[in-house]
Amino acid sequence: MDFSLTPDQELLRETARKVLERECPPALVRAHIDDAAAYAPLWRHLSEFTPLGAGPATDLCLFLAETGYAAAPGPFLATALFAALTGGDGNAIGTVALVDDPTMRFVLEKDRVERIAFVTPGPGLAVVDADAVTARFVATVDFSRRLFEVEVPQLDARPLAPAEYAHWRDRAHACMAAEMVGTARRIFDMSLSYAKARKQFDVPIGSFQAIQHKLADMSLALERATAAVQYAAMTVDAGDRDRTRAGHVAKAAAGEAARRILKDGIQIHGGIGYTWEHDLHLFLRRATADEYLLGTRGWHLDQLAAALIDG
């Protein structure tokens, strides 16, 4: 398997980095705490990239790592999940509602999309106008995403081939993991910079072995999760038979990386990281909440165990 990026992929990643660095500073994420409309100027730029949702998972996941890094508000991930499920070109702004699914009780960004794709048990698929669906906003620890509890309307669902739905789930797990690893990388980078800059006992705290070993273990968790996401995306694109396990591995590895990095990251920051004024909590909140979207680490490990032991 070849992990090297093509020149187009390098360019895509660079472009995503530049756009998000310029258009999604922490100040925007902070403004979004009290003003849901704060995402609008960013969305004018991100909406140009929604066709990625209908393209290869490898490209999409590179982009999602950057939206996660910036903790970008808005319906980019929701639209990508919608496009893959409904087979559109990625231009329709949408979200996905999984009915009676333990891994996805709430619906992402319902107030910012045109269409909602409902997956009913069976599975079946029905796509409806978002305006026709009643929903209540659900406050969470994460200010950057908006979650909703929706009332499931009368649906005229068409059957969804189980294999097709399974393939979508594999892709969705990789996508969710990609964003989550991106956010974990942001917290890691902030912690590493802080360890180099912050002095105590007249030396940078990053010269202490206790801090160095924490950061080494954090970076291992981060790098293996990053690789697991890219591998999962490759298996999805190739239709490889390892793709279901790879999707579970990716989200489970992302969960491990995020949890370790957010806990040790705030520890390295010390008191300053615990303040409202410092930007760290914007990312801690996102990484914490992401664990509970599309399956926790424990849920994904249980799926792997079933495949390994009962399969």
Residue 224 structure tokens: 């293996």
208 binds another protein per the rule CB under 8 A: yes
148 binds another protein per the rule CB under 8 A: no
204 binds another protein per the rule CB under 8 A: yes
In the block, which residue shows the tokens 């794709």? 117
- Site for another protein, residues 176 to 195, rule: CB under 8 A: 192, 195
- Site for another protein, residues 232 to 251, rule: CB under 8 A: 233-235, 237-238, 240, 245-246, 248-249
Question: Cβ 84 to another protein, closest distance in Å?
Answer: 18
Find the binder of another protein among 18, 220, 270, 274 (CB under 8 A): 220
The residue range among 27-35, 70-78, 134-142, 303-311 that interacts with another protein, by the rule CB under 8 A, is 303-311
**Nearest by Cα to 256 from 291, 231, 280:** 291
Find the binder of another protein among 85, 93, 252, 284 (CB under 8 A): 252
Binding mask 6-35 for another protein (x = CB under 8 A): x--x--------------------------
CA distances (Å), 291 to each of 76, 84, 92, 206, 231, in order? Answer: 18, 22, 27, 28, 20
253 binds another protein per the rule CB under 8 A: yes
**Nearest by Cα to 72 from 49, 89, 92:** 49
**Nearest by Cα to 136 from 98, 116, 110, 114:** 110
* Separation CA 257–CA 264 (nearest Å): 11
Q: Are 158 and 236 in contact (CB under 8 A)?
A: no
Pairing of β 203-204 and β 124-129 = unpaired
**Phi, psi (degrees; rounded to nearest 5) at 117:** -100, 115
Question: Cβ 234 to another protein, closest distance in Å?
Answer: 5
Question: Residues in the site for another protein, rule: CB under 8 A?
Answer: 1-6, 9, 58, 192, 195-196, 203-204, 206-209, 211-213, 215-217, 219-220, 223-228, 230-231, 233-235, 237-238, 240, 245-246, 248-249, 252-253, 256, 298, 300-302, 304-305, 308-310
